[in-house]
Amino acid sequence: MSKKFAPRTSIEQVEEGKDLAPKFDADGLIPAVTTDVHSGELLMVGYMNAEALSKTIETGEAHYWSRSRQALWHKGATSGLVQTVKELMVDDDQDCVWLKVDVAGGASCHVGYRSCFYRRIPIGKDAARLEFTDTEKVFDPKKVYGEAPNPTKL
Amino acid sequence: MSKKFAPRTSIEQVEEGKDLAPKFDADGLIPAVTTDVHSGELLMVGYMNAEALSKTIETGEAHYWSRSRQALWHKGATSGLVQTVKELMVDDDQDCVWLKVDVAGGASCHVGYRSCFYRRIPIGKDAARLEFTDTEKVFDPKKVYGEAPNPTKL
């Protein structure tokens, strides 16, 4: 555990105090929600371990834990689409963080879209068919990632 | 598995198709990110199992899986702060959903704040001390929840 993090001693400390005392799950991870600081749009949801959270705080650039690669992931190291953290928030029980970022190049999704969230689930329908809300790719994933394995797992 | 959900057959189907084929984790859960449809503010991050996602799609009201209570959780059933889902999105590999909601009463956090994210982690500081960005509670949790156990776990 980094010296940045305090032990969790009481509900009052965690919810109403100024100690950063994150609760990592059984795998040592905490979800990280990343929005565009300009548009407010949700770009991605990733995971951080203690090291990724420490690095993000230290450098001001988003670091995650890649569950598919099982490795520390400096976002943009391959694609150049680095996320500069403009504001970093923590939630009430400190088991989640929120990054408001400025994205170099404007894209965050490995499929090539601006956001990972480009399809809508219709409400009230029985057999859901997704609706595309974004059809324009910002970059060509083949050019950016080449033959790197796709992180999506079935 | 609900009839709403398709089996996951290929990366192309999952990323570029119109089938709703969510990937639940080893505990049968998917994270759900909830923002205010008006302000764009991040309100909370919860989890859904297949039933919670189905109920959300059917009813247009946010349902989660409460990990602390290990029960289906119709948000607002106790507090009255029901979340009406205005738009529901799914991400590229379909292991996360995004709810844009209209919140009755304007609050989403059991501590009493408008959002669960009311504290900032300063960037570049060695020993992080949280900074409050919201100090005004929208409701008094004692009045709303009475003696119900606090969901925050140490």
Backbone torsion region of residue B145, taken as left when φ is above 0, otherwise alpha when ψ lies between -120 and 50, otherwise beta: alpha
Stated as kind and residue range, the H or E segment containing A31 is strand A30-36
- Can you tell me the ipTM of this complex? 0.80
The answer to whether the beta carbons of residues B100 and B85 sit under 8 Å apart is yes
Quote the mean pLDDT of chain B.
Answer: 88
Give me the tens of pLDDT residue by residue for chain A, a chain 154 residues long: 456 799 999 999 999 999 999 999 999 999 999 999 988 889 999 999 999 999 999 999 999 999 989 999 999 888 788 999 999 999 999 999 999 999 877 666 788 888 889 999 899 876 678 999 988 887 888 887 777 778 788 8
**Pairing state of beta strands A63-66 and B131-132?**
unpaired
The full 3-state SS of chain B, as one line of letters, equals CCCCCCCCCCHHHHHHCCECCCCCCCCCCEEEEEEECCCCCEEEEEEECHHHHHHHHHHCECEEEECCCCEEEECCCCCCCCEEEEEEEECCCCCCEEEEEEECCCCCCCCCCCCCCCEECCCCCCCCECEECCCCCCCCHHHHHCCCCCCCCC
Is some CB atom of chain B closer than 8 A to the CB atom of A37? no
Instruction: Please report the pLDDT score of residue B134 as a whole number.
Output: 87
Alpha carbon of B102: minimum distance to chain A alpha carbons (Å): 14
Mean pLDDT of B24-42: 92
3-state SS class at A103: strand
What count of residues does chain A have?
Answer: 154
d(CA A65, CA A68): 9
Question: Cβ B90–A130 below 8 Å, yes or no?
Answer: yes
Q: Is B37 on the interface with A (CB under 8 A)?
A: no
Rounded-to-integer distance, Cα B48 and Cα B97, Å = 9
More confident residue, B106 or B132: B132
Chain A residue closest in CA terms to B32: A45
For an interface test with B, the pick among A98, A101, A131, A133 (most B C-beta atoms closer than 10 Å) comes out as: A98
Q: A-contacting residues of B 46-75, CB under 8 Å? A: 57-58, 60
Picking from A69, A72, A26, A77, the residue whose alpha carbon sits closest to that of residue A48 is: A72
Chain A nearest C-alpha distance from B64 (Å): 16
Q: Tell me the pLDDT tens digit for each residue of B50-89.
A: 999 999 999 999 999 999 899 999 998 887 889 999 999 9
Model confidence pLDDT, tens digit, residues B77-125: 887 889 999 999 999 999 999 999 998 776 667 888 888 899 998 998 7
The answer to whether the Cβ–Cβ distance between A119 and B10 falls below 8 Å is: no
Of B11, B42, B153, which has the smallest distance from its Cβ to A33's Cβ?
A: B42
The percentage of residues in chain B with a pLDDT greater than 90, rounded to a whole number, is 58
Nearest chain A CA: its distance from B1 CA (Å): 13
Q: Point out the residue among B42, B110, B123 whose CB comes nearest to the CB of A57.
A: B123
Residue of chain B whose Cα is closest to the Cα of A118 = B91
Residue A86: φ, ψ to 5°: -90, -30
